[in-house]
Structure formats: C-alpha cells, structure tokens
Structure 1
Amino acid sequence: MDEAQLDRIKRLPKVELHLHHEGAAPPHFIKGLAQEKSVNLEGVFAPDGGYAFRDFVHFLSVYEAATSVLKTPEDYARLTKAVLEESAANDVVYCETFLSPDFCGGGDVGAWREYLAAIREAADAAERDHGIILRGIVTCIRHFGPDKAKASALCAAETAGDWIVGFGIAGDEMKGKPKDFAYSFDMAREAGLRLTAHAGEWGGAQSVADAITDLGVERIGHGVHAINDLALVDKIVENEIVLEVCPGSNVVLDVYPNLAAHPIEKLRERGVKVTVSTDDPPFFHTTMRDEYLNLARTFGWDADVFAEINTTAANAAFCDEDTRARVLKRLERT
C-alpha cells in the first residue's frame, strides 16, 4: 500500500465507541495535576514519561492511581478538554466515553451531577471549537462488586437522556459473573439506556456468551475471544451484536502476540460487525490514526473498508437519531 493511500486512510473522519475517559488522560496532564496537588505518583510513570505497568492487573492499579489526582469537577472539565483535543487531532468526529461515578463523586448522585455538568460543558466547548461530538456511557467497575455497580446504575438512570446514552461494565473480567450485575443493567435498561459490556478480552468466549444472555447487551467491549467459539460468532452475527475492538490495546496487554495474530479480520470475514477504538490510548501508545495505519499495513484494508467500519460504528452509536444523522453526514467526507 503506497503512502498516498495510507495518508488518505489516516485522515478519514472516524467514530470511536470504546474510550475510557481517565484512561485517555495524557501522562503530562496527570503529572501536572499531581504536582499542583502535591500528590506522589511514584511508580506510575516510566522513564520515557509514559505510564508504567507490567500486565493487565497492574495496569488497573496504575490506572486507578493516576485517576486519584482527578478530585473535582473542574479537574474532569480540564481532562475532557485535553482528551477531546487529542481525539479531534486524530480526525475523530464522534466519540463515546466511559465514565464511572465511582471516580466522579464516589457513586453519590448529587456529586455525580456536578461532575457530569462540568464534563458536558467542556464537551460542548470542544464541539464548538473542534467539531467533535462526545456522548457518555456510565460504567460500573466489575472488581468493585455488584453493590457499587447498583450505585453507578442509579447515577446513570437519574441522568439518562440526550448526553448520557448508555450503561456498561468494565474492570477485571475475572471477578464475578455477568449475572451478578443483572440488577444494575435492568435498572439502566428501564431508564432507557442502551447497554454494552466488556467481555471476551480475558474471560474467553464464554464471557461473551454470558454477557449477551445475562445482561442483554447490544454491544460488546473487545469480544475478541469469541473467535474461539464459531457457534457463538454465528449468534453474534445473527443478533447483530457489535464488537468494540481495540487491536492496539490487545497487543500491548498480550491478549495476542502481535497484530497479525489478532482475529479482527477473521471476525469481519465471518460477518461480525466490528468497530475500531483505542481503549486507553496513552497507556497503549496508540491513537486512532495509529490504529488505522497499523490495520491497513497488516491486513491490507483500504479506505473503503475503514469507511464501512465507521458507518457500522455510527449506526451502533447510542446517540439519538438526529445526532447519528449529523455523524453519518460527516463520514461522507472521505
């Protein structure tokens, strides 16, 4: 593939459905906040200035340590500005971000509203200044347990609407079972929120099947280990479940040894609706442009393939129909 084709792919307008808000914080931003607040983040950063972690479990602890300096709604407003400037620089026109009330107010609905107001104000400014549209998916943290998940679901239900559009679950897939969180997902569903769940990154194909059956989700975060159960893949296709695939993240965390071994192309060939996202981009040394270029070089995907993936993502987005129409219009610029 020649450089002109790669440059066209790099500059395509993009839709990202799987982005953790705190996990998208640039390291220099977190360092600056830590200095302002005199917080010691020893062990969080590598010598090159990036985040330092050994494996997935250690990544979670480093993530939570970095997040600990985000203490006020104003901090989250500043974070939102930094994250959206970076996304817009990578030609992202629409993004859904995972937000946890556990980090934004400790699960208290009143505090959560204050954090959410600050995030939305910054997001509105970014849309005016950079043209990027942001929507929020409230996310409970699996390894915090079902009771805290219920508090997060209440926060989600109380603020469901045109901006908080979904509910999901993230964290350590090896803790508990999806059915342990069914109450929280039922609460979110009754509030009109659409549902997604992290599964099939570490929990194998069965975790994907359980999330679909026990939580009633329409999207799966990662979901890549579904490839090990072709009957499940067929069920995913039949039920039009969309996978929020994060190839760079999967490689850095050793879910797969390299991108060539990643199943995204096999899943796509079998008819699965796959999308492409960065997950926690500065942690995994990636951007949306990097993801596209690496996939193009590895699998020979051309601009038409990426245009199809972005249309899939736009149609799977949890936003209202007017917003979707605006996003699809933006995708026409190729």
Structure 2
Amino acid sequence: MREELPVIDEERLEAIRELPKVELHLHHEGAAPPAFIRGLAQEKNIRLDGVFDERGHYAYDDFLGFLKVYEGATSVLKSPQDYARLTTAVLEECTKNGVIYAESFISPDFCGGGDLGAWREYLAAIREAADEAERSMGITLRGIVTCVRHFGPDKAKRAALCAAETAGDWITGFGMGGDENAGKQRDFAYSFDMAREAGLRLTTHAGEWRGPSEVVDALTDLKVERIGHGVRAIEDLALVDKLVENGIVLEVCPGSNVALGVCRNLAAHPIEKLRARGVKVTVSTDDPPFFHTTMKDEYEGLARTFRWDEEVFMDIARTSANAAFCDVATRDRLLKRLETTSD
C-alpha cells in the first residue's frame, strides 16, 4: 500500500520556513541586494546600464546574460570597505531567513584583481564585517575562495595562490564558478592541487549545464568532496550510486536551477529523486536576488512540491553542517543549535 504523504498546511509551512538553516552555496556578490548595488552606484556616480529592469530587479535573459549582469553589478564594488558593507548586507538577509551558518564564494578576481596584497586587504575587511555580524546577529560565515572558469586557468592560479596564502580558520575552501561550458575541469587541476596542498577543502560547479560526465570529470580530475549543483548526475544512475558510495555532497540550488532553465519547474527538479537514492543533498540559494528567492522560499517551495516535513529539512540542515568546510568546534556548535531546535 502506498504511504500517504504528509499534509503540509499553511501553519506547518510557516514552521518550516522558520527552521534554522545551513547554506553552503552562496556567491558573495551574487547575494548583493539590488538596492544595495544601486545605492553604491549612486554614491560613486557610476551608471549601470542594462543591469536592472524597470522594477529595479537584476535584468537578464539567459545564463550568459546573467554572468554579464553579475559582473556589471560587481563593478561598483571597488574597495575593501565596499566589500565590508556588502558582507553586512548579505548577512542581514541571511539572518532574516533563518540561516545560522553560511559559506560564501569569494573571488580574488573581484577583490583586488588577483593581487595577493590587495586580496589580503579585502579579506580583512570582509572578515571584520563577518565577525561583527556573528556577534550581533548570531550568524557564522566562512569563505571559499573561487576562481572563475571563463577567466581561464592562468587567473585561476592567481586565485589559488591567494587562497593558499590566506588559508586558515576563516578561508577554509577553494572552488570554481563561472561558465561551465568554458574549458574543462582538468584545465584547473594545478590550481586545485595548490589549494589542496594548503589544506583547503574543495568544491566545484559541475553538472548544471553540462551532463553527468562533467561531474565525473570534477571528481576524477579535481578530486573534490562537494559538487556545486550536480543535478544532471540524475541522468546517469551509475554515477548517482558512485556519489552515494563516496559520500559526495551536492550543493543543490533548486530556485536557481528553475530560474535559469536547467529544470522547467520545481516539480521536475531531481532533488527528491537524488535524496531518495541516498545522495547527500543540501539546499542553497546560489545568487538569491538574481533568482528572486530566499532560503525561506526554497524551503517552502520544496515542502509544497515534494511534501517534505520538518524532519526532512532538519536532516538536510544536519547534512549541510556535517559537510561544511569548518573546524570541528564550529561544526559541533552548529549541530548543537540544530538539535536544540529539533528537540
């Protein structure tokens, strides 16, 4: 007899929206509220043609258009202090959505143009703002240095050097974002090896635009332990079994996948199929204002679509905490906060 799905009424949906959350896939600039970027542009007398629509939202038609607008919005962030203000704005939004721990992708390409000295200044400002947010808001942030795939392997090496030279208790990971259709994962193996030798943990975007073979390449050539997106792995069930066997964690961003057309709608998203087969899935927003989403919205959408109850979401939060690129003490503190909520 088929198991009856739980009823998710409005009161229960609100309880799900308010659950504590752990977010592992968040682009620092991509989380900038549009009003923040517009205000900064006005302060600096910078015109941002083509970045916003008539409603003040980020405006793009497809993934490449999204990348162009992303870089256009980022162009107003010109100093360490700008990034400190951005960090505060991003963490305020995270806190409003119940996020107690987040990992943000930060690129030296945008923070000092890949220069190590400049990167240190930007990083110090970001971390100072993050530390203040932890004291005042109770949210913990850690940084994952990312190279940008379509900027090429040479710039990736500079980003990896910045990551290696500042690795520690706050910069804890290295990854790669950008256009998945630019080059191959193995083109960036040198940078990932450099980061690994510095003790950084590794993730990369794969299996969003290219198919399952891209996930295989990421695991084989870069030896990552997490995959950003990875949803097209569902097209190869042998690969799905390999993900389960090796404990690979997927940083899944359902709202992003729907907004960009990777999936036609949330009902067609493979997150439930992946989870049902035993893959370690997590939930994140990617670039939330670009995709008109929040972590509360992600939770509500998944609850409505797949009838996930509170325990499913708490399990996902625990999976996320266990997969976080943080030290043991921080992880234990996160898990304790989650367990206190579930008791």
List runs of 5+ in structure 2 lacking aligned partners: 1-7
Q: Specify the alignment match of 1:284 in structure 2.
A: 291
Q: Specify the alignment match of 1:13 in structure 2.
A: 20
Q: Specify the alignment match of 1:169 in structure 2.
A: 176
SS in 2 for 1:314: helix
Residues 64-213 of structure 1 aligned to structure 2 (within 5 Å) = 64-213=71-220
Correspondent of 2:276 among 269, 286, 305:
269
The reply to whether residue 225 of structure 1 matches residue 240 of structure 2 is: no
Q: Specify the alignment match of 2:310 in structure 1.
A: 303
The reply to whether residue 247 of structure 1 matches residue 254 of structure 2 is: yes
Structure 2: how far apart are the matches of 1:109 and 1:141?
16
The residue identity in structure 2 corresponding to 1:97 is S
TM-score, normalisation: structure 2: 0.97
The residue identity in structure 2 corresponding to 1:45 is F
Stretches of 4+ aligned residues off by more than 4 angstroms: none
SS in 1 for 2:281: strand
CA RMSD of aligned residues (A): 0.5
Correspondent of 1:36 among 36, 43, 46:
43
Structure 2: how far apart are the matches of 1:73 and 1:203?
35
SS in 1 for 2:52: coil
Structure 2: how far apart are the matches of 1:267 and 1:331?
23
SS in 2 for 1:234: helix
Offset at residue 3 of structure 1 (A): 1.5
Offset at residue 203 of structure 1 (A): 1.1
SS in 2 for 1:221: strand
Offset at residue 36 of structure 1 (A): 0.8
User: Which deviations, in whole Å up to 9, do the C-alpha atoms of 1:123-176 show, x marking residues without a partner?
Assistant: 001001110000000000000000000000000000000000000000000000
Offset at residue 19 of structure 1 (A): 0.1
SS in 1 for 2:23: strand
Offset at residue 112 of structure 1 (A): 0.3
Offset at residue 97 of structure 1 (A): 0.2
TM-score, normalisation: structure 1: 1.00
Q: Specify the alignment match of 1:237 in structure 2.
A: 244
Q: Specify the alignment match of 1:56 in structure 2.
A: 63
Offset at residue 48 of structure 1 (A): 1.2
Offset at residue 17 of structure 1 (A): 0.1
Structure 1: how far apart are the matches of 2:74 and 2:213?
31
Structure 1: how far apart are the matches of 2:212 and 2:41?
39
User: Which deviations, in whole Å up to 9, do the C-alpha atoms of 1:87-112 show, x marking residues without a partner?
Assistant: 00100000000000000000011100
Structure 2: how far apart are the matches of 1:267 and 1:238?
13
The residue identity in structure 2 corresponding to 1:245 is V
Q: How many residues of Structure 1 are paired with residues of Structure 2 in the alignment?
A: 334
Structure 1: how far apart are the matches of 2:337 and 2:179?
35
User: Which deviations, in whole Å up to 9, do the C-alpha atoms of 1:217-250 show, x marking residues without a partner?
Assistant: 0000000000000111011110100000000000
Structure 1: how far apart are the matches of 2:55 and 2:233?
35
SS in 2 for 1:5: helix
The residue identity in structure 1 corresponding to 2:50 is G
Offset at residue 298 of structure 1 (A): 0.2
List runs of 5+ in structure 1 lacking aligned partners: none
Q: Specify the alignment match of 2:333 in structure 1.
A: 326
The residue identity in structure 2 corresponding to 1:98 is F
